[in-house]
Amino acid sequence: MDAIARADDALEVYGAKLGSRLLVGTSMYESPAILADAVRASGAEVVTVSLRREAGGARAGGAFWDLIKGLGLRVLPNTAGCKTVKEAVTTAQMAREIFDTPWIKLEVIGEDDTLQPDVFGLVEAARILSNDGFQVFPYTTEDLIVAEKLLGAGCEVLMPWGAPIGSGRGLNNVFGLKALRAHFPDTPLVVDAGIGAPSHAAQALELGYDSVLLNTAIAKAGDAVAMAHAFKLAVRAGREAFLATPMEPRDMAAPSTPVFGRAFS
């Protein structure tokens, strides 16, 4: 079947089928209106939301939550900023109550400058939450051993970073990401963090990754709505290129016009 016409090419995670392979965050936008317009322009069906945007007590985040609900999309709460297993687990449990979903994007941050995940705490928290009925989306590195342990802890999807959160550097370790894809061919893989341009997203999908999750690249663009649409097109192009099977790179030139039959003087 023509890749362009693949109506059944949906991303499936924890039994949910998603037509879009772009997941977007909801922080740092200049206004609620720009956030809403950008999310719609992205074509995303899942948005990530931090519990810290939904304040307790006076519920100062109520207007924000009403905006998110108005978009009619699936919500993926996250434990952004959590540095310990206890903090991440508690935040996840609170998020489940507020957002009424078993989905959780699990972050356990281990280093302040790079916001690199604490993979030891991450595996422990993933096991606790999985046993508690959560469907965990772990923000991790491209380490193969960590990936194996996360799957063993109950995760059914992995979210390796491309580069440090908010850096916009793209895919820092293409070799490692390709190795992860090759070792876990049947596991949904989402590049999370570091994506800065549509070309980075397209590259991730061309490598066979199932999706990308990004926030800063859209929210901090000069025109967030236009950038969101650009990412929508890039993800689609990358996926279709992967399905079409790109040519293998060569060390030597290969003429596109055959020498045989050419006139010689």
* Residues with catalytic function: 105
Hey, what are 69's tokens?
Answer: 């609900």
> Residue 242 is which amino acid?
F
**DSSP secondary structure string for all residues of 172-218:** S-HHHHHHHHHH-TTS-BEEES---SHHHHHHHHHTT--EEEESHHH
CA distances from 7 to 1, 51, 61, 232, 239 (A): 10, 35, 38, 17, 13
Compute the distance between CA of residue 211 and CA of residue 231 in angstroms, rounded to an integer.
12
Torsion of CA 129, 134, 135, 138, to 10 degrees: -30
Compute the distance between CA of residue 89 and CA of residue 261 in angstroms, rounded to an integer.
70
